[in-house]
Structures are given as structure tokens and as C-alpha cells.
């Protein structure tokens, strides 16, 4: 098998793909018979390309002496997609097939999505998918920028690759704690039994980033937080939280259940959406520019860098349970977590007898990143002669239990592609369904009056987002570091 990476001079290849392939090489999942064919527009010699990868910086354990065999696996070819020479490229791939005695290929498109169709056309016109061996193609997000463009791209790709050969990456699905949601829900009676509207009061899903848009102004201006994060990562996490038990753990049974979730989402009401854009200010002691002064950003930009919304799942299991989702850039802390808040039953008898001084509803916290783990907040009796309630937290730390060397998301995903398992990749209908849901939200947000910028860097987002959840008598649950040992927000 070989992997052919288009866009190999880009950031993704250097920071994620090559380090992930190196890890797979170290774990002996790939070896000398697995050429890593890097395709880029720049004219570079192999040595220049290897220097450009900055292996020592991105793979701290890399040792040029011991790991020279890994370098031997890497090839670099120049192909400008605007004037690609098919004959030359086909010949190069053909000679690698002979040399490594393999015709199986993975095409990885680590490129701007505007080039996806062009690369697919190149693969087709070079005849790289015909003949012996199988071909798989991998797409990075975004798959389209709305329903129409996603359908168009999917149609285009499906003329060359069957759905079973298409791997659409949502790297959140490669994260251990996202995959853990199914294990947690479906293999533990304690959680399985309460996972419905009889016991659950509400659910919060938070993705909070401290970084701004970095050097992606051009991309972000056309995208914004809703398309960049909600359409993919947040809806994927939501699907795992909400889905019914699949018939089996096969990729299609799991994806069949996830798509049912997307189809059962009620349209979001305008008053249940808050958007924001960051101003200038301080993050981690550093002065940062407002979004509107970032490079390649319109000084009057109305693009949102923050979004929060309340939504409902319209099925028997979840009817009436609000889901509060939020994501934003330049916020106080970097973390992604889910909080499933159960109904507060502590008042049943304790209130009446006046022994309930401090209490909490049960909260199940799934920390997806960076401090992976699962915590359960519950009430216990405070020591002493009186029966006084006292909230406590039971905390499972993933790294303490399984060690720090768990594979990173891209390593997991590449491994799945190599073995041909599509479970952690989004199927065509999932992508299209998520755009069908998101398109009207984007339209509605476009019509909303906005007085941007409306939140300070280093904060937890605009005040309106606190009001959104506060209206229902609830509050956003802060990350572990900002909660007391009893699980309350500080
Ligand atoms: N970076 C991340 O962490 C990340 C995370 C999630 C998803 N993604 C997605 O992954 C993809 C790649 O992202 P990236 O950050 O690596 O992008 P990038 O740093 O901008 O790199 C883009 C690559 O595309 C190549 N390219 C552009 N126009 C070309 C043309 N006409 N012909 C041939 N090659 C061309 C560039 O070659 P030159 O260097 O020669 O210009 C470069 O190798 C995007 O779809 C992005 O949305 C990235």
C-alpha cells in the first residue's frame, strides 16, 4: 500500500500527517513497503522537502540516525494542479508501484477544498484508480460550504470513487474521549438506563479555544464559527451523545443511528442563537488584535468567531431536553467537554427535613480535550452527626489510567484508513444532512442585528450567551480548573 498526499507542503502535513505516519512506523503498522508520496506545488529536492518538514520540531522522538529508514519511505514530487502533467506523474507512481510491489493506494487531499475536484479529476485522468489494487480517498473538512456545494462535491467524487472508498475526516472522531462516548453509554447500566428525558435535565457541549484565527483570515471570513465548528465537530459530538444503540458496531450501523439524530433536530429559533466576535484585549498576558484587524479580514467584518445555541431533539427519548452548544475563539481556556446534567432529585426528602445545605444535580462530564477524562459529580453525606449533603466528584483521568502514549487523533484515523474501517469517518448522507440543518441557521444569523465586536479576548464569550442559558434558570458549567472540589462553578 502507498499513501499519496496532495498538499504536502502545507501545515497539516507537517504538523499532523507526517508525525502520525512516523508513529505508525514506530509501532510497525507501516514499514519500508509503504511509500509516503508527498505531492506539492513547490519545486523542492527531497532534501529540501525533508528540511521543510522540521521533523525534530514536530516529532520530538525522531532521531535522524536511527530513523533513516523512515526518511527512505518518503518521496517528493512536484505537481501544479493548475497545469498538471499527467504522463509524468503517472510514470512516477507506476515506478513506485513496481519498486514497492503494491498497487493499493490511499489518496490524501490535504489541500484547500477549492482544489478537491481538480485533484479527483487528476486522479481519474491519470488512470490511477484503474488496474490492480484498491484506492481510497481522504478528504479534509470543509466538505462544501453549504448543502448545494456539498452535494455537488459528493456527486463529483462519486463518479470516481464508490462511497466505501471515501473517507471524510472529522478529526474530532479520532479523539479517544469522543469514541469513548459509545463505550460509556452502551456498556454501563448506570449510564445506559438514565440516558433519556426522564432523568436528564439538559446537556451542554462546549468547545473553547484560546487561539484566534491565526493566519487563516481569508478562509475564516468566508466560514465563521457556525460553519467551521458546529456543522462538523459539534454536531458529531451531539450525534454520539444522542444516538440510540446501533444494531452492531459496524460502521454503517453506527452511522445509520447518527444520521437519525441529525434528522430529528428541531429547527433552531432565532432567539436561541447568540453570535459574537472578539475585540482586542489580553489572552495569557499577551495583547491581541481584534478580529477585524487580523490579516485578510474586512475591517467591518460581520463574521462570527463565537456562537452559542439551544436546540432540541425531537424524538421520544429526548423530547423537552435542551441541548446548549457553544464554540468560540480567543476565549479564556482551551477545552472541549460535554456536561450531561441530570434532574435534581436531592429535594425529595432532604429539603423537607432541612438537612440539605449544599447540593448538586448529578453531572456527568466528558472531557474531550485537553485533560481527557470522565467525572461524575454527586451528593454524599458530610462527616459528622448531622445528615448534611455535600457534593463530591469522582474523576477518571484517562492518561493516569492508560498512560500518556495513547495515539493522537490523526494516527488513529490514518490507521483506520489503512485497515479500511469507515466508522470514524462521516458518510455522504451525514455531511449533507448536517448542512441541511445548518444552512437555515446561517441564513438566520445573517439577518440578525449584530453589534460586533461583543466579547473580550480571555473571557468566556459574549454576555448574551450567559443570558441564553440563564433565561432557563441554568448556567454554563465552567471547566474543572474553575470549579470547586465539590463541582460548583467558582
Ligand atoms: N492545518 C490544520 O491543522 C488543519 C486542520 C483541519 C483541517 N485542515 C484542512 O486540511 C487542508 C489543508 O490544510 P493546510 O492547513 O495544510 O493548508 P495550507 O497550509 O494552506 O496548505 C495548502 C497546500 O495546498 C497546496 N496548494 C495550494 N494551491 C495549489 C495548487 N494550485 N496546486 C498544487 N498545490 C496547491 C499548497 O502548496 P504550496 O505550498 O506550494 O502553496 C499547500 O501544500 C484544508 O482543507 C484545511 O481546511 C487543516
Per-residue pLDDT tens for 358-371?
A: 778 999 999 999 99
Atom of ligand 1 lying closest to residue 8 CA: 43
Q: Indicate whether residue 40 lines ligand 1 (CB < 6 A).
A: yes
Atom of ligand 1 lying closest to residue 13 CA: 16
Q: Indicate whether residue 81 lines ligand 1 (CB < 6 A).
A: yes
Which pLDDT does position 297 carry in this prediction? Answer: 97
Nearest in space to 182 (alpha carbons), one of 248, 265, 235, 260: 248
Which of 19, 41, 52, 213 is the pocket-test mutation for ligand 1 (most atoms within 8 Å of CB)?
41
Q: What is the pLDDT of residues 440-452, one digit of tens each?
A: 999 999 988 889 9
Residue 177 CA to ligand 1 center (angstroms) comes to 27
Nearest in space to 338 (alpha carbons), one of 454, 200, 171: 200
Give the number of C-alpha atoms closer than 13 A to the C-alpha of residue 449, restricted to the C-beta side. Answer: 0
Q: Output DSSP code: residue 16.
A: I
Atom of ligand 1 lying closest to residue 81 CA: 32
Q: Indicate whether residue 11 lines ligand 1 (CB < 6 A).
A: yes
Q: Return d(Cα 23, Cα 61) in angstroms, integer.
A: 10
Q: Indicate whether residue 110 lines ligand 1 (CB < 6 A).
A: yes
Q: Indicate whether residue 138 lines ligand 1 (CB < 6 A).
A: no
Residue 109 CA to ligand 1 center (angstroms) comes to 9
DSSP secondary structure string for all residues of 411-477: HHHHHHHHHT--TTS--HHHHHHHHHHHHHHHHHHHHS---S--B-TTBSS-HHHHHHHHTTT--PP
Q: Return d(Cα 479, Cα 145) in angstroms, integer.
A: 31
Q: Are 312 and 322 in contact (CB under 8 A)?
A: yes
Q: Return d(Cα 231, Cα 325) in angstroms, integer.
A: 12
Q: Return d(Cα 185, Cα 241) in angstroms, integer.
A: 8
Give the number of C-alpha atoms closer than 13 A to the C-alpha of residue 111, restricted to the C-beta side. Answer: 24
Q: Return d(Cα 20, Cα 231) in angstroms, integer.
A: 26
For 3, the grid coordinates are: 499513501
Q: Indicate whether residue 141 lines ligand 1 (CB < 6 A).
A: yes
Residue 12 CA to ligand 1 center (angstroms) comes to 7
Nearest in space to 164 (alpha carbons), one of 421, 353, 340: 421
Which of 6, 8, 9, 12 is the pocket-test mutation for ligand 1 (most atoms within 8 Å of CB)?
12
DSSP secondary structure string for all residues of 169-184: --GGGGSHHHHHHHHH
Which pLDDT does position 438 carry in this prediction? Answer: 98
Q: Indicate whether residue 217 lines ligand 1 (CB < 6 A).
A: no
Q: What is the pLDDT of residues 46-71, one digit of tens each?
A: 999 999 999 999 998 999 888 899 99
Residue 8 CA to ligand 1 center (angstroms) comes to 8
Q: Take atom 47 of ligand 1 and give the residue whose Cα is closest.
A: 141
Q: Take atom 23 of ligand 1 and give the residue whose Cα is closest.
A: 7
Q: Return d(Cα 262, Cα 79) in angstroms, integer.
A: 39
Which of 112, 173, 174 is the pocket-test mutation for ligand 1 (most atoms within 8 Å of CB)?
112
Long-range contacts of range 414-418, CB-CB < 8 Å, 24 or more positions apart? 414/3, 414/17, 414/20, 414/21, 414/24, 415/24, 415/29, 416/167, 417/106, 417/136, 417/138, 417/167, 418/1, 418/24, 418/29, 418/30, 418/106
Which pLDDT does position 484 carry in this prediction? Answer: 76
Burial 186-213 (b: 16+ CB within 10 A, else e): eeeeebeeebeeeebbbbbbbbbbbebb
Q: Return d(Cα 26, Cα 2) in angstroms, integer.
A: 17
Q: Take atom 41 of ligand 1 and give the residue whose Cα is closest.
A: 41
Q: What are phi and psi of 110, to 5 degrees?
A: -95, 60
| pTM: predicted TM-score of the whole model, two decimal places | 0.95
The stretches in the chain having pLDDT less than 50 are none
Q: Output DSSP code: residue 303.
A: -
Sort strands 135-139 and 166-168 into parallel, antiparallel or unpaired.
parallel
Q: Are 46 and 76 in contact (CB under 8 A)?
A: yes
Compute the residue count for the chain. 490
Q: Indicate whether residue 41 lines ligand 1 (CB < 6 A).
A: yes
Which pLDDT does position 353 carry in this prediction? Answer: 63
Q: Indicate whether residue 214 lines ligand 1 (CB < 6 A).
A: no
Q: Take atom 1 of ligand 1 and give the residue whose Cα is closest.
A: 12
Report the DSSP beta bridge partners of residue 396: 374
Where in the sequence numbering do the catalytic residues fall?
233
Q: Return d(Cα 330, Cα 211) in angstroms, integer.
A: 5
Amino acid at each position: 500500500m502507498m499513501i499519496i498526499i496532495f498538499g504536502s507542503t502545507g501545515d497539516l502535513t507537517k504538523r499532523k500527517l507526517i508525525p502520525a505516519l512516523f508513529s505508525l512506523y514506530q509501532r510497525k503498522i507501516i514499514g519500508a513497503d509503504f511509500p509516503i508520496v508527498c505531492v506539492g506545488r513547490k519545486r523542492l529536492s527531497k532534501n529540501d522537502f525533508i528540511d521543510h518538514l522540521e521533523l525534530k520540531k514536530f516529532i520530538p522522538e525522531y532521531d535522524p540516525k536511527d530513523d533513516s529508514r523512515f526518511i527512505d519511505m518518503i518521496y517528493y514530487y512536484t505537481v501544479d494542479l493548475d497545469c498538471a502533467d499527467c504522463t509524468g506523474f503517472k510514470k512516477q507512481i507506476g515506478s513506485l508501484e513496481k519498486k514497492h510491489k503494491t498497487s493499493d493506494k490511499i489518496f490524501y487531499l490535504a489541500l484547500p477544498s477549492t482544489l478537491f475536484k481538480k485533484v479527483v479529476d487528476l486522479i481519474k485522468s491519470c488512470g490511477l484508480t484503474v488496474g490492480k489494487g484498491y484506492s481510497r480517498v481522504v478528504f479534509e473538512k470543509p466538505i462544501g460550504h453549504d448543502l448545494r456545494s456539498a452535494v455537488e462535491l459528493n456527486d463529483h467524487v462519486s463518479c470516481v470513487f464508490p462511497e466505501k472508498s471515501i473517507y471524510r475526516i472529522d478529526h474530532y472522531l479520532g479523539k479517544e474521549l469522543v469514541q469513548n462516548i459509545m463505550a460509556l453509554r452502551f456498556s454501563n447500566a448506570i449510564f445506559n438506563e438514565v440516558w433519556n428525558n426522564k432523568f436528564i435535565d439538559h446537556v451542554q457541549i462546549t468547545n473553547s479555544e484560546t487561539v484566534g484565527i491565526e493566519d487563516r483570515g481569508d478562509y475564516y471570513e468566508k466560514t465563521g464559527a457556525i460553519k467551521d465548528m458546529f456543522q462538523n465537530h459539534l454536531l458529531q459530538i451531539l450525534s454520539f451523545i444522542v444516538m440510540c444503540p446501533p444494531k452492531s458496531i459496524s460502521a454503517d450501523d453506527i452511522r445509520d443511528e447518527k444520521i437519525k439524530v441529525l434528522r430529528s433536530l428541531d429547527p433552531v429559533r432565532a432567539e436561541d442563537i447568540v453570535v459574537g466576535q472578539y475585540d482586542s484585549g489580553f489572552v495569557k498576558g499577551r495583547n491581541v488584535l481584534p478580529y477585524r484587524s487580523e490579516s485578510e479580514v474586512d475591517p467591518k467584518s460581520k463574521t462570527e468567531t463565537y456562537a452559542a445555541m439551544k436546540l432540541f431533539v425531537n424524538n421520544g427519548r429526548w423530547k423537552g431536553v435542551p441541548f446548549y452548544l457553544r464554540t468560540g475563539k480567543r476565549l479564556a481556556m482551551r477545552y472541549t467537554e460535554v456536561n450531561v446534567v441530570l434532574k435534581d432529585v436531592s429535594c425529595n426528602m432532604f429539603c423537607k427535613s432541612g438537612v440539605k445545605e449544599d447540593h448538586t444535580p448529578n453531572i456527568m462530564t466528558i472531557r474531550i480535550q485537553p485533560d481527557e477524562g470522565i467525572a461524575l459529580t454527586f451528593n454524599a453525606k458530610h462527616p459528622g452527626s448531622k445528615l448534611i449533603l455535600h457534593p463530591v466528584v469522582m474523576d477518571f483521568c484517562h492518561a493516569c489510567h492508560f498512560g500518556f502514549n495513547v495515539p493522537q487523533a490523526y494516527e488513529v484515523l490514518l490507521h483506520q484508513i489503512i485497515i479500511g474501517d469507515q466508522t470514524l469517518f462521516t458518510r455522504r448522507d451525514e455531511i449533507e444532512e448536517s448542512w441541511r440543518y445548518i444552512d437555515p441557521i446561517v441564513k438566520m444569523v445573517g439577518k440578525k442585528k449584530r453589534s460586533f465586536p461583543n466579547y473580550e479576548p480571555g473571557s468566556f464569550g459574549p454576555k448574551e450567551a450567559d443570558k441564553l442559558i440563564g433565561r432557563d434558570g441554568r448556567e454554563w458549567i465552567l471547566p474543572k480548573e474553575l470549579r470547586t472540589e465539590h463541582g460548583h462553578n467558582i
